[in-house]
């Protein structure tokens, strides 16, 4: 019976061998970032419609991901299964589109079947293939070579290095186009409103802060006991302090209360202005919520007041940041 440790070591060696083989395949792609790659980028930049990505089998899975990456980085794109294309889905393709076909062999029957239709429509054809002499490559306006020396599969059968290379080449196209279009983080956030980046770039302080009667606030001449009641009712761990004109003068927090109790100050006979934190950290409502989070982290505080021209308009705490998914 084989030794358990030697078996584990063998599994580790096999895993490392796959990564090494695929890393070498990716490294060799640099020689194929050439005029054909540039032509492909320019065809997609000039495209007035969408990039139609086509692929069969494993190339289809890679094509699906490439289409999604293109679409989320400023290049409208969608995936069409070549098997379905011959049964009606070709109607999704218009003369203003550009086709991007994937096939490692360049001889995939389902892909080659629809090429004459694409040519008849006058649609530019870009290909990513591991065989630059293949039918698909020679029929392409911009044939991109993604050939690899060997698959990571020891049998040389399962698409591994070849699919990784095609995926990386697709990413290279998407990011080159992103840069060429001047696509920004804000643009990315608009197409990912439900994602973490979308929340960080689209949520403003005004969207997450407590407003109106939900803001804990008392006048500076009020007693500390009144501040405690306000803090308990509004549940933000602090209360804003204003003068009679409504101008913010300070903040009273749980920390201020602890320091006060350590000094044996009477909460029923002490005005809050004597023990509050003067001024306090503030932020304007039009700032990004992530900026409020950063400010709280930098100052090591759990609550923040929101002001507009020194007038109190809102309040928020770290729990609000967590609820907004900004932590």
> How open is the CA angle 166-167-168, to the nearest 5 degrees?
90
- The set of residues, in sequence order, having a beta carbon less than 8 Å from that of 58 and lying 6+ positions away, is 159, 163
CATH number of the domain residue 66 falls in = 3.40.50.10490
CATH number of the domain residue 242 falls in = 3.10.580.10
Candidates 265, 262, 208, 264; CA nearest to 236 is: 208
Confidence grade of residue 86 (pLDDT, cut at 50, 70, 90)? low
> For 246, which DSSP code?
-
Confidence grade of residue 57 (pLDDT, cut at 50, 70, 90)? very high
**How far is Cα 203 from Cα 44, in angstroms, rounded to an integer?**
32
> 188 in a domain, yes or no?
no
214 and 165 part of one domain: no
> 14 in a domain, yes or no?
yes
Residue 290: both structure tokens together: 């992530």
38 and 119 part of one domain: yes
**How far is Cα 190 from Cα 154, in angstroms, rounded to an integer?**
44
Averaged pLDDT for residues 172-189: 80
Note the pLDDT tens digit of each residue in 100-155.
Answer: 999 999 999 999 999 998 988 899 999 999 999 999 999 999 999 999 999 998 88
**Residue 194 and residue 176 in contact, taking contact as beta carbons nearer than 8 Å:** no
> 52 in a domain, yes or no?
yes
Note the pLDDT tens digit of each residue in 260-298.
Answer: 888 888 889 999 999 998 888 899 998 888 888 888 888
148 and 211 part of one domain: no
> 194 in a domain, yes or no?
no
**How far is Cα 158 from Cα 310, in angstroms, rounded to an integer?**
66
**Residue 70 and residue 117 in contact, taking contact as beta carbons nearer than 8 Å:** no
Candidates 214, 205, 249, 212; CA nearest to 235 is: 214
> 300 in a domain, yes or no?
yes
The whole-chain average pLDDT of the chain stands at 88
pTM for this structure?
A: 0.63
**Considering all CA atoms of the chain, what is the largest pairwise distance in Å, rounded to the nearest integer?**
91
Note the pLDDT tens digit of each residue in 222-244.
Answer: 999 999 999 999 988 899 999 98
**How far is Cα 6 from Cα 318, in angstroms, rounded to an integer?**
50
pLDDT at 195: 52
Note the pLDDT tens digit of each residue in 203-225.
Answer: 788 888 999 999 999 999 999 99
The least confident of 158-162, 194-198, 262-266 is 194-198
CB atoms within 10 A of CB 152: 23
pLDDT at 319: 85
> 61 in a domain, yes or no?
yes
pLDDT at 30: 96
- Total residue length of the chain: 327
Averaged pLDDT for residues 14-23: 94
67 and 16 part of one domain: yes
Averaged pLDDT for residues 297-309: 88
pLDDT at 54: 95
> 292 in a domain, yes or no?
yes
**Strand ranges, E, within the chain:** 51-55, 77-80, 98-103, 125-129, 142-145, 217-219, 238-242, 248-253, 277-278, 282-283, 303-308, 311-317
Comparing 286 with 1, the larger pLDDT belongs to 286
115 and 215 part of one domain: no
> 197 in a domain, yes or no?
no
179 and 213 part of one domain: no
236 and 152 part of one domain: no
Comparing 92 with 164, the larger pLDDT belongs to 164
Paired strand residues for 246: none
**How far is Cα 75 from Cα 56, in angstroms, rounded to an integer?**
22
128 and 216 part of one domain: no
40 and 81 part of one domain: yes
pLDDT at 4 over 80: no
Percent of the chain with pLDDT over 70: 91
**How far is Cα 313 from Cα 259, in angstroms, rounded to an integer?**
27
Last residue of a domain, one of 152, 183, 214: 183
Residue 98, domain extent: 4-183
225 and 176 part of one domain: no
The least confident of 14-18, 83-87, 284-288 is 83-87
210 and 291 part of one domain: yes
**Strand ranges, E, within 104-221:** 125-129, 142-145, 217-219
316 and 217 part of one domain: yes
Number of domains in the chain: 2
């Amino acid at each position: 019976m084989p030794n358990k440790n030697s078996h584990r070591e063998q599994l580790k060696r096999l895993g490392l061998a796959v990564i090494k083989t695929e890393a070498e395949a990716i490294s060799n792609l640099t020689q194929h970032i050439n005029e054909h790659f540039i032509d492909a980028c320019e065809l997609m930049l000039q495209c007035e419609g969408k990039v139609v990505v086509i692929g069969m089998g494993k190339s289809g899975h890679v094509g699906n991901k490439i289409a999604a990456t293109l679409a989320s980085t400023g290049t409208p794109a969608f995936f069409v299964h070549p098997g379905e294309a011959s049964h009606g889905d070709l109607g999704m393709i218009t003369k203003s589109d550009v086709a991007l076909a994937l096939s490692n062999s360049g001889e995939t029957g389902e892909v080659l079947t629809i090429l004459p239709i694409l040519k008849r429509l006058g649609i530019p054809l870009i290909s990513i293939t591991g065989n630059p002499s293949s039918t698909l490559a020679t029929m392409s306006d911009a044939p991109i070579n993604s050939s690899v020396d060997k698959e990571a599969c020891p049998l040389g059968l399962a698409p591994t290095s070849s699919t990784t290379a095609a995926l990386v080449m697709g990413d290279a196209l998407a990011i080159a186009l992103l840069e060429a279009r001047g696509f920004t983080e804000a643009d990315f956030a608009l197409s990912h409103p439900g994602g973490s980046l979308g929340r960080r770039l689209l949520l403003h302080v005004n969207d997450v802060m407590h407003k109106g009667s939900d803001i804990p606030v008392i006048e500076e001449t009020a007693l500390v006991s009144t501040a405690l009641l306000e803090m308990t009712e509004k549940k933000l761990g602090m209360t804003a302090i204003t003068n009679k004109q409504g101008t913010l003068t300070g903040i009273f927090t749980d920390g201020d209360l602890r320091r006060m109790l350590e000094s044996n100050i009477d909460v029923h006979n002490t005005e809050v202005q004597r023990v509050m934190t003067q001024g306090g950290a503030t932020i304007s409502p039009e700032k990004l919520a992530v900026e409020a989070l950063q400010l709280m982290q930098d100052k090591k505080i759990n609550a923040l007041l929101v002001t507009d021209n020194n007038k109190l308009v809102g309040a928020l705490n770290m729990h609000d940041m967590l609820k907004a998914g900004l932590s």
